[in-house]
Amino acid sequence: MMNFAIAGCGHIAYKHVGAIEKTEGARLVAICDPNPDRLKELRAVTSSTAYPDLGTMLARQPEIDAVCICTPSGLHAPLALEALREGKHLVLEKPVTLSLTEAEQLREAVRVSGVKATVVHPNRYRPAMQALRAALAEHRFGKLSHVNMTLRWNRSQAYYDQAAWRGTKAMDGGVLLNQAISQRRTCRRCDAKAVRL
Ligand SMILES: NC(=O)c1ccc[n+]([C@@H]2O[C@H](COP(=O)([O-])OP(=O)(O)OC[C@H]3O[C@@H](n4cnc5c(N)ncnc54)[C@H](O)[C@@H]3O)[C@@H](O)[C@H]2O)c1
């Protein structure tokens, strides 16, 4: 049995709860969030133990094997590094980090600790994206010189008003890191700059 914990009890955390529940051999044992209302709401739909912060959670429940990082994006790197120091596997929400330096630091820490780490990019598994990927692999379009992408996702003011971190450079990173990151694929030319965990 693999014991999961979730750091950050906001919108996306509920998807992680659902995925853990559906996965044989996985169970959710702990959650943490500094916001007591968020913590209480998620606690109400799980049988996990609630904590105000990651450090306390990891100290009190050493049986945790993996941590899902579901916090504002600017906190992914520091919290992931904290979990890695305790030898925990990671499921990181996208974007992996907000800077290349942090991503490289994290990749190195994952390599050294020998744990497994993955970043959640669900849009890459949509049928249209999978069909496009297959077509590219079959060289159906010949040699591509340019790719032009349009992301038609509306984000109204109400979206940005949901939480103080949204739309900020320090915690959200902006549309290229928040929304468009879901669509971005690495190409051969970009490989030197792209970091994959
Ligand atoms: N993969 C996807 O398709 C997808 C979709 C939506 C969001 N996301 C990502 O998930 C992350 C969270 O987004 P959200 O919509 O759930 O945001 P949210 O604001 O609803 O939730 C974030 C939660 O993290 C908590 N938090 C803040 N600091 C914390 C800390 N130090 N330790 C633990 N918890 C802390 C907040 O109190 C809040 O409850 C973002 O990085 C976002 O980019 C991914």
Atom of ligand 1 nearest to the CA of 12: 16
Which structural domain, as residue segments, surrounds residue 152?
A: 123-190
Whole-model pTM: value is 0.92
Residues 60 and 35 in one domain: yes
Residues 11 and 99 in one domain: yes
> Structurally, how many domains does the chain consist of?
2
Residues 104 and 15 in one domain: yes
Centre of ligand 1 from the C-alpha of residue 10, in Å? 5
Residues 172 and 136 in one domain: yes
pLDDT (0 to 100) of residue 184:
53
Tokens of 139: 């060289």
Residues of the chain where predicted confidence (pLDDT) is lower than 70: 182-197
pLDDT (0 to 100) of residue 183:
60
Examine residue 53 and state whether it is found in any structural domain, yes or no.
yes
Examine residue 39 and state whether it is found in any structural domain, yes or no.
yes
From 99, 121, 143, the end of a domain falls on 121
Examine residue 186 and state whether it is found in any structural domain, yes or no.
yes
- Tell me how many degrees the CA angle 112-76-46 measures, rounded to the nearest 5: 105
From 121, 153, 171, the end of a domain falls on 121
pLDDT (0 to 100) of residue 191:
42
| Alpha carbon distance 50, 106 (integer Å) | 26
Centre of ligand 1 from the C-alpha of residue 48, in Å? 18
Ligand 1 neighbourhood includes 42 CB (under 6 angstroms): no
Residues 37 and 105 in one domain: yes
The answer to whether the beta carbons of residues 29 and 4 sit under 8 Å apart is yes
